[in-house]
Amino acid sequence: MDSDNSLVIKTHNLSKTYKEVQALKDLNLTVKQNSIFGFLGPNGAGKSTTIKLLLGLIQPSGGRATIFGHDVQRDSVEVRKRVGYLAQDPRYYEHMTARQILGYTARFFYRGPKDLIEARVGEMLELVGLEDKADRAMRGFSGGERQRLGIAQAQVNYPDLLILDEPAASLDPMGRHDVLEVMERLRKYTTIFYSTHILDDVQRVSDTVAILNRGKLIAEAPISDLLAGDGCSAIYDITLTSEAEVALAAAQDRVTGQLWVQNLSMTSDDGLTCWQVSVTDEAAAEDMLLQLILEDHNLKVKHFGRKTYNLEEVFLEMIEKENSK
């Protein structure tokens, strides 16, 4: 058993090959306790394969993984006692009602008087807003209702780790909003590991992100780090107005003359001049960049700030870079 209590999931060179196709290549991943870990990647990147490996539904071709220090292959049942799982396309027995499905799921974890199990089931139905459909057979459920039931059955055992495979993929905007809200609410009590390709959702709720492409991990970082850029340089966006071209040229010389300034690119539009200054020393830039520009009183700064990326930009850039290799 692995003893690092702060780590919920840890994989070491986890690999999976289907015949000739390598679905997952030497995955090394760590998921910390109480994080909401977004697992991103295009279709076929290996996200569902990873999740199935973690749950012991498929066997690795190489490497190993632990959850709560238990080996996911050897101690799979022990692992699954503490995990809640929602599949990408959740399937249940069609003739059973939502209440029966949840009762059946709950009894894999608990025993006790029937009314206590029923109370737990009722609590879960309320959590996902399915009280009024509790006694309807599954075959009459819509995709969104199935997904909500999926979250309820994944949560029925108060899991220490919730694994969700594309939890919002088949939901309408309201349904997506509800799912994200439930995830945010659960953050205090559990660790959430979820795969998705809806990047807006990830940016909204995740604190850590891993990006997988063609079975290979290409990034794993706190989301704030990922959105801040590549870590080697920072870019500042500056918007200026000036009556005198000379003042602008002089300011440009002052800035580019600094050792920590890597590059300055300029565009002009409608009387406004926009600079993008790429720097290697963020602290120096924070201290001096604005001062250097404002040395000349003929220049007016309309906007000054560090450029922030959105996840979609980062994601696409990384995937494109990786695919062009």
Partner 1 sequence: MTVQTHSHVPHDLCMAARQGLLPALGSGWLAGFGNMLAKELGEWFRTRRWLSQFLIWTTIINGFIAFLLFGLPALASIMPETQSAQEDLFAGFPPEIGAVMMYFSIVVMTGTMGVIVLAQDEVIQEKQSGTAAWILSKPAARLAFILTKLLSNTIGMLVFIVVLPGLVTLGEIFLATHQVVPLVPFLAGIGVILLTLFFYLSLTILGGVLFDSRGPVLGIVFGVMFGCSILKNFFLQISYVLPTSMEGVALSVVLGMPLPAMLVSQVISTAVLSILFVLVALWRFQHIEL
* C-beta of residue 205 within 8 angstroms of C-beta of residue 164: no
Give the HSE-up count for residue 303: Cα atoms under 13 Å, Cβ half-sphere: 13
What's the min distance (Å) between Cβ of 266 and partner 1?
51
For partner 1, the closer of residues 68 and 315 by Cβ is 68
Alpha-carbon span 161 to 193, nearest angstrom: 7
Spatial CA neighbour of 149 closest among 55, 59, 84, 214: 84
What's the min distance (Å) between Cβ of 108 and partner 1?
4
What's the min distance (Å) between Cβ of 77 and partner 1?
5
For partner 1, the closer of residues 161 and 218 by Cβ is 161
| Interacting residues toward partner 1 by CB under 8 A | 5, 33-34, 52, 55-59, 68, 77-78, 80-83, 85, 87, 89-93, 95, 104-105, 107-113, 116-117, 119-120, 157-160, 188-190
For partner 1, the closer of residues 93 and 320 by Cβ is 93
Report CA torsion sign: 136, 170, 84, 132: negative
Both tokens of 279, joined, read 């720097």
Residue 57 gets the label, from left (phi > 0), alpha (psi -120 to 50) or beta, of alpha
Alpha-carbon span 67 to 30, nearest angstrom: 10
What's the min distance (Å) between Cβ of 181 and partner 1?
17
* C-beta of residue 210 within 8 angstroms of C-beta of residue 217: yes
What's the min distance (Å) between Cβ of 85 and partner 1?
4
What's the min distance (Å) between Cβ of 82 and partner 1?
6
Residue 257 gets the label, from left (phi > 0), alpha (psi -120 to 50) or beta, of alpha
Alpha-carbon span 313 to 199, nearest angstrom: 10
Alpha-carbon span 86 to 51, nearest angstrom: 10
For partner 1, the closer of residues 114 and 297 by Cβ is 114
For partner 1, the closer of residues 163 and 289 by Cβ is 163
For partner 1, the closer of residues 99 and 120 by Cβ is 120
For partner 1, the closer of residues 54 and 311 by Cβ is 54
Task: Find the farthest-apart pair of alpha carbons in the chain and give their distance in angstroms, rounded.
Answer: 84
| Residue whose structure tokens are 């918007």 | 239
What's the min distance (Å) between Cβ of 97 and partner 1?
12
Amino acid at 107: R
Residue 52 sits at φ, ψ, to 5 deg, of -65, -35
For partner 1, the closer of residues 56 and 251 by Cβ is 56
What's the min distance (Å) between Cβ of 112 and partner 1?
4
DSSP string, 261-283: EEEEEEEEETTEEEEEEEES-HH
